[in-house]
Structure 1
């Protein structure tokens, strides 16, 4: 069965784009990025900005969570627009179609970094940069592989993930 991803969460103030591979089954069902309750994504970000309380989880608060991200000058999207996959693991992704990143840059003129949330997303970092370079030859957008916030990435502790994410946000003036 062909699955379709979620729309980007970006604004013209987005400085760092968090780029996953493709939403897991729980996220697709909820129509929310990082909707699995055991994913560390939202918990890591809240730990980086403790002075700005993150709206609670749940469908009634998702729009507020997205606004919270945008206020921090973060954006969200995925490498894949659609794919075939059983379950939620990246290793099960088949026949994927890559998103249009050149178009996204038009919506994010201040973008300075792509935070690839895990290895599957990072595998496409060169293709993403190539799309941007073709459309915007002078664009300087850094690609950084961050440890996946997925519960499947048990080899990294929460603290180690948090440190890596904090370093990137600090490097781009977001902390």
Structure 2
């Protein structure tokens, strides 16, 4: 049996209006205990670009940027077994309590999935006819090899909810 890994707590507060969901942290993120910590992952670069914020490597400042802009971040998977960082290697997963989170934070008005795995899992958790708009965005992972510009263009969908 593989080692079981666990997600982080959500980054969210009562003013959050958008929820961005990944699948589960990769190896680098687990090592650093930070969302999207792999240096090649474009999540933080895309977020800073979208929000006209100065890019920073300081994790506390990154958290401040998303909170200030009413964005929450979490993962659809609470825990699983996985070798490496590939979503395709995820086994025996247990879901996070997304429905309960949304009840606790009623200001959330849209959900954005960072990649296909989070979208598929979210549909299993919430069902297909959920009350909030759910958008699938290209994964910010370096394993998803479309250009930064193409990813950024699709991620601009977030701006219509801010």
Check whether TM > 0.5. yes
Question: Is contact 1:40–1:149 with CA below 8 Å preserved after alignment?
Answer: yes
Structural RMSD (CA): 1.7
Gap runs ≥5 in structure 2: none
Q: Does 1:169 align with 2:158?
A: yes
SS at match of 1:123: helix
**1:102 aligns to 2:99 (yes or no):** yes
* Unmatched runs of 5 consecutive residues or more in structure 1: 134-139
What's the TM-score once normalised by structure 2's chain length? 0.92
Please state if 1:81 is matched with 2:78: yes
**3-state SS of paired residue (1:35):** coil
Q: Which residue of 1 aligns with 2:138?
A: 147
Which whole-Å CA distance do the structure 1 matches of 2:112 and 2:90 have between them?
A: 20
Kindly indicate whether the alpha-carbon contact (under 8 Å) linking 2:50 and 2:159 is maintained by their aligned counterparts in 1. Answer: no
Runs of 4+ aligned structure 1 residues displaced above 3 Å come to none
Question: 2:37 maps to what in 1?
Answer: 35
Contact 1:3 1:82 (C-alpha < 8 Å) held by counterparts: yes
Structure-2 separation of matches of 1:124 and 1:34: 19
- What is the aligned length? 160
Residue aligned with 2:72, SS: strand
2:48 to 46, 49, 56: 46
Q: What is the deviation of 1:107?
A: 3.2
